[in-house]
Structure 1
Amino acid sequence: MEKMMDLLAQELSAAFEKAGYDSSYGRVTVSNRPDLCEYQCNGAMAGAKAYHKAPIVIAQDVVEKLSDSQVFSMAEAVKPGFINLKIKETFLSGYLQKMHTAQLLGAEKTQNPKTIIIDYGGPNVAKPLHVGHLRSAIIGESIKRMGRFLGHEMIGDVHLGDWGLQMGLIITELKHRQPELVYFDESYEGEYPKEAPFTIGELEEIYPAASAKSKGDESFREEALEATHLLQQGRPGYMALWNHIMRVSVTDLKKNYEKLNVTFDLWKKESDAQPYIPAMVEEMREKGYAYMDQGALVVDVKEETDTKEVPPCMILKSDGASLYTTTDLATIVEREKLFHPDEILYVVDKRQEMHFVQVFRCAKKTGLLPQETKLSFLGFGTMNGKDGKPFKTREGGVMRLEHLIEDINEEMFHKIVENRSVKDKDARQTAQIVGLSAIKYGDLSNQATKDYIFDIDRFTSFEGNTGPYILYTIVRIKSILNRYEQENKDTENGEILEAANESEKVLMLALTGFPAVVEGAFEEKAPHKVCSYIYELANAFNRFYHETKILSEEDERQKASWIQVLLLTRKVLETSIDLLGFSAPERM
């Protein structure tokens, strides 16, 4: 189904051509003066120089050709050369009728589906998720959902950090605490226990304790480095411990991501890339890309057009150890081998931009994947507290993600109980649904690349540009539809009639924007555009609701038409919030 703006542009382009002008001037935009018109065309201004005519003359010529238009009810030329437009009500209602039954509410399935891998996790195992992991998960999940909606094969990868020094620190600390465990007996040849010698709570205490100890005790740090090396060499006891750490950690990570309604198709780890490193490094050497510099193996990635210094990409340290750069490059090799993606998108803190500039250039320069494969970096800003500094606990520490979720849910529970709109037994579950909307919408309504203030009071409000406000609007629509059905009315019957009043037309016009918004938001990797759209749509609906007595309307045909508009509005809002990664309750 063609987008509304395209249909309007076709009508204007045809009018320009009939009037003797180039059809390319028929571009249409939403009016910035809604008090005067709904759409406008500035093509006459652009064409004045080419045709040596006053813009108003060109505009008048074009408007004359629109006199019998089936699309516009008004087309007028306004000095110095604007064309002001209003859409015909019959055309608008017909478009919404088609949109109502269209598979994707008028959005188009892509003609060229791509395989896109999104790297949007990045947590380290043995450590709890904290607020720093929030943005990657929320933004990445939304982009994945939009891509799938439009027909692309989207593959989400959590990309766990599981192979670095933190593993050696945990193993060494555990060895100091429980040296009698069989994992530390080099002569042991039996089967290792199936149960881990620690819980997730103990594991989350062991790592920070070991990390702190390593900073003040050099011998402990050396021991941890050796344990890391032995693990990476495959010592059986350490591998068994590593497997325990992975099972316990991943189970806990999945539980916490589930609370965010975030899922991954792949639970790949840094260690999965290790087998690809030796051959990758050897090939870089053989082809002359990699060379030794102060003992380290590096690849030059600077370009003549660089306006700032781009350091060489370090492949191996002077002691032969690999780095994040090495692992990320080897992961690209693995992804190319397993999936042949058209694009790999990294949703990562924007402060890592230089790292990914080096990785991307190195991957392309050394031929790790085809030149046409796109490598994309979506760097997100910082989530800050009201003081403008990175969000912390009251004690000044990094807040665990599950504690943030609990705080939001508790705030929503109190507000829902105060409203007395939901029975006590349902209030907790409703609070979780609405709380998730507060967190996700609060984040996604901001442009991803910008820092933003995480304000619990504002984000949990039922008024203003918030997730709960959007959900409240959906619940209001559901309530009207339920009451209509209780009158033994069939919501399936009815056609969308011409707008009965101005507020209905504003709502109908807002509905037509959905296809373009979704396609544009995915193309630009910009979920905030979906948020802006549904906030505008919710406002349009609520204005219509307050100005129109829907259920008390005596004209049954008119009432049935309004019900169809409500059904479409609900469908658009619910589809949109699903793309953002949350849902609406039945009541709130």
Structure 2
Amino acid sequence: MKKLIDLIQEELVKAFTAAEMDPSYARVSVSNRPDLCEYQCNGAMAAAKAYHKAPIQLAEAVVEKVTDHSVIGEIEAVKPGFINLKINPEFLADYLSKMQNDEDLSVEKAKNPKTIIVDYGGANVAKPLHVGHLRSAIIGESIKRMGRFMGHNMIGDVHLGDWGLQMGLIITELQERHPELVYFDESFTGEYPEEAPFTISELEEIYPCASGKSKEDEDYKKRALEATRELQQGRRGYRAIWKHIMNVSVADLKKNYGNLDVHFDLWMGESDAQEYIPDMVDYLKDNGYAHYDQGALVVDVKEETDTKEIPPCMILKSDGAALYDTTDLATIIQRMKLYKPDEICYLADKRQELHFVQCFRCARKAKLVNDDTVLSFIGFGTMNGKDGKPFKTREGGVMRLERLIGEINDEMYQKIVENRSVKDTDARGTAQIVGLSAIKYGDLSNQASKDYVFDVERFTSFEGNTGPYILYTIVRTKSILGKYKEEGNELKKGALLAPKSDSEKALMLSVSRFNGVVENAFEEKAPHKICAYIYELANEFNHFYHETKILSEQDEARKASYLALLDLVREVLETCIDLLGFSAPERM
């Protein structure tokens, strides 16, 4: 379906053309003065200079040419030259009826679907997820869902950190503790045990212990570096330990990401790109893209238009070791070969922007991607505590994601029990659903690039711009619809009548903007725009609800219209929160 604003604009294009003015001036926007009008056009103001006439004269000439009022109900020229518009109420009701019968709720799918890889995990194996992993997971999941809803082939990749020094450190510490393990016997030729010699809890304790030792003991660090090198060169026993680390870690990561309702299509990591590195290095050297500088292999990526220094992209260190740049470039080659994406989108802390500028420029310069392949980076701000510093535990340490989710769920459980709104047997499950909305909405309602304060008390509130408030609104619509059905009535799609009150029309107008919001939010990769929209829609619904007797309406056709509108509001809100990555309970 075409967007309502586009249909209005088409009418104004006709009017501007009939008034012998360039139709490009017929741009329509949602009114910033809803007390005066619903939509506005400021084209006459912009056209005044070109046509050497007062803006009000041009505006009046355009208004005179609008004769068909089937779409535009009211149109008025006001000084100094604005054109104020109101939609025809019957047309609005008809538009929403068509929207309700459209399985995509009026959203037009992409005419040329793209394959887009979203790199939004970045977790390191053998380490627990902490709050630092929250933003990339939440924002990336939402962008993936929005893209799928728009009809694109979205591929989410966790891109694990699974091939660095941390592996050598774990192997070294494991050998210190259990030198008798068969993995350290180079003469062993049999099959290695299927069961890992450690649990996830033990693994998560081994790594920080080993990391601490390597900072104080130079010999220990050398052994860890050597273990890393031998692992990467294929030492059989070390590869077997690495597989155990991966299996144990990935199982735990899937559980924790699952608690966030975050799901990846690919569970690949840095290790998967290693086989592409040797050929890539040869290609960069043989084709003159890379050169040696003080022993390191680099690619110059600075450009004449740069206003600040952009250092070369380092491919190999002077000792021949690969770096993040190397692995990320090899991963681009791998993705282009296996998936032929139209776009690769990366989510990471905005402080990593320089790294991605270097990698993207290198990939383009060396023709590792097609000319039309989009490489995009969404840099997000930090999640801070009330003190304005990065979010920590009360003890001052980095908070594990599991603990944060647990604390939010406990807070929601207490509020739900105090309200006695659901049975005790359902309270825990409901608390988890509402708690997830508090976390995700609290994050996504902020522009990704900005830092924000994670305020547990505010985010778990049932009032204001919060996830629980949105869910409470959805549950309210479900409750009314449920009572209507309990009375033996059947919901009728397409039963919408022209709005009777200002609040009803405002609600209908808000619903009608759904398709434009989703399209724009995905284009700009901006989930916060969906949050802003559903907060506005929830407010409009609650305003309508408080001043309208819905179930006690005597006019059956009008009542059926109210209920059809409520059902559409529910469907739009539930679709939006699904795009944001959470759901609503039946009661709360």
TM-score range, shorter chain: over 0.9
Per the TM alignment, residue 61 of structure 1 is displaced from its structure 2 partner at its CA by 1.1
List aligned pairs for 1:458-537, cutoff 5 A: 458-492=458-492, 495-537=495-537
Match in the other structure for 1:404: 404
List aligned pairs for 1:241-256, cutoff 5 A: 241-256=241-256
Match in the other structure for 2:327: 327
Per the TM alignment, residue 24 of structure 1 is displaced from its structure 2 partner at its CA by 1.5
Q: Could you list the per-position Cα deviations for residues 347-405 of structure 1 after superposition, in whole angstroms to 9, with x for gaps in the alignment?
A: 11101000000000111111112121110000000000000000000111100000000
Alpha carbons 2:101, 2:494 under 8 Å: kept = no
Letter matched to residue 292 of structure 2: M
Give the fraction of aligned pairs with identical amino acids, expressed as a percent.
73
Per the TM alignment, residue 459 of structure 1 is displaced from its structure 2 partner at its CA by 0.3
CA distance in 1, matches of 2:248, 2:432: 25
Per the TM alignment, residue 318 of structure 1 is displaced from its structure 2 partner at its CA by 0.8
Per the TM alignment, residue 74 of structure 1 is displaced from its structure 2 partner at its CA by 1.4
Match in the other structure for 1:278: 278
Match in the other structure for 1:348: 348
Alpha carbons 1:494, 1:560 under 8 Å: kept = no
Match in the other structure for 1:4: 4
Alpha carbons 1:494, 1:557 under 8 Å: kept = no
List aligned pairs for 1:70-89, cutoff 5 A: 70-89=70-89
Structure 2: state its 5+ residue gaps. Answer: none
Match in the other structure for 2:418: 418
CA distance in 1, matches of 2:151, 2:37: 36
Structure 1: state its 5+ residue gaps. Answer: none
CA distance in 1, matches of 2:441, 2:281: 43
1:396 alignment partner, SS class: coil
Q: Indicate yes or no: 2:55 matched with 1:55.
A: yes
CA distance in 2, matches of 1:103, 1:15: 33
Match in the other structure for 2:392: 392
Match in the other structure for 2:435: 435
Q: Could you list the per-position Cα deviations for residues 202-245 of structure 1 after superposition, in whole angstroms to 9, with x for gaps in the alignment?
A: 00000000001100010100000000000001111100100000
Alpha carbons 2:100, 2:493 under 8 Å: kept = no
List aligned pairs for 1:42-191, cutoff 5 A: 42-191=42-191
Indicate how the Cα distance of structure 1 residues 67 and 325 shifts in structure 2: closer, same or farther if over 3 A, else same.
Answer: same
Alpha carbons 1:493, 1:560 under 8 Å: kept = no
Per the TM alignment, residue 492 of structure 1 is displaced from its structure 2 partner at its CA by 2.9
2:239 alignment partner, SS class: helix
Match in the other structure for 1:303: 303
CA distance in 2, matches of 1:573, 1:442: 17
Give the TM-score of the pair, scaled to structure 1. 0.99
CA distance in 1, matches of 2:533, 2:106: 15
Per the TM alignment, residue 73 of structure 1 is displaced from its structure 2 partner at its CA by 2.0
CA distance in 2, matches of 1:492, 1:499: 17
Letter matched to residue 43 of structure 2: G
Q: Could you list the per-position Cα deviations for residues 183-208 of structure 1 after superposition, in whole angstroms to 9, with x for gaps in the alignment?
A: 11111111111110100000000000
CA distance in 2, matches of 1:40, 1:273: 53
Match in the other structure for 1:547: 547
Q: Could you list the per-position Cα deviations for residues 149-172 of structure 1 after superposition, in whole angstroms to 9, with x for gaps in the alignment?
A: 010000000000110000000000
Give the TM-score of the pair, scaled to structure 2. 0.99
1:311 alignment partner, SS class: coil
Per the TM alignment, residue 143 of structure 1 is displaced from its structure 2 partner at its CA by 0.3
Match in the other structure for 1:216: 216
Match in the other structure for 2:27: 27
Match in the other structure for 2:456: 456
1:84 alignment partner, SS class: strand
CA distance in 2, matches of 1:11, 1:144: 35
Letter matched to residue 328 of structure 1: D
Q: What is the aligned-residue RMSD (CA, Å)?
A: 0.8
Indicate how the Cα distance of structure 1 residues 423 and 107 shifts in structure 2: closer, same or farther if over 3 A, else same.
Answer: same
Letter matched to residue 162 of structure 1: D
CA distance in 2, matches of 1:158, 1:61: 58
Q: Could you list the per-position Cα deviations for residues 496-521 of structure 1 after superposition, in whole angstroms to 9, with x for gaps in the alignment?
A: 00101110000000001100000000
CA distance in 1, matches of 2:68, 2:331: 61
Match in the other structure for 1:357: 357
Where do 4+ consecutive residues of structure 1 move more than 4 Å? Answer: none
CA distance in 1, matches of 2:173, 2:315: 30
CA distance in 2, matches of 1:119, 1:265: 11
Indicate how the Cα distance of structure 1 residues 494 and 304 shifts in structure 2: closer, same or farther if over 3 A, else same.
Answer: closer
Per the TM alignment, residue 30 of structure 1 is displaced from its structure 2 partner at its CA by 1.0
Q: Which moved more, 1:347-356 or 1:61-70?
A: 61-70
Per the TM alignment, residue 296 of structure 1 is displaced from its structure 2 partner at its CA by 0.7
Alpha carbons 1:446, 1:452 under 8 Å: kept = yes
2:69 alignment partner, SS class: coil
Letter matched to residue 444 of structure 2: L
Letter matched to residue 157 of structure 1: D
Letter matched to residue 126 of structure 1: A
Alpha carbons 1:40, 1:82 under 8 Å: kept = yes
Q: Indicate yes or no: 2:10 matched with 1:13.
A: no
CA distance in 1, matches of 2:36, 2:313: 57
Letter matched to residue 518 of structure 1: V
CA distance in 2, matches of 1:335, 1:67: 55
**Alignment: residue pair count:** 588
CA distance in 1, matches of 2:529, 2:335: 30
Per the TM alignment, residue 522 of structure 1 is displaced from its structure 2 partner at its CA by 0.3
Q: Indicate yes or no: 2:267 matched with 1:264.
A: no
Alpha carbons 1:59, 1:83 under 8 Å: kept = yes
Per the TM alignment, residue 63 of structure 1 is displaced from its structure 2 partner at its CA by 1.1
Alpha carbons 1:108, 1:150 under 8 Å: kept = yes
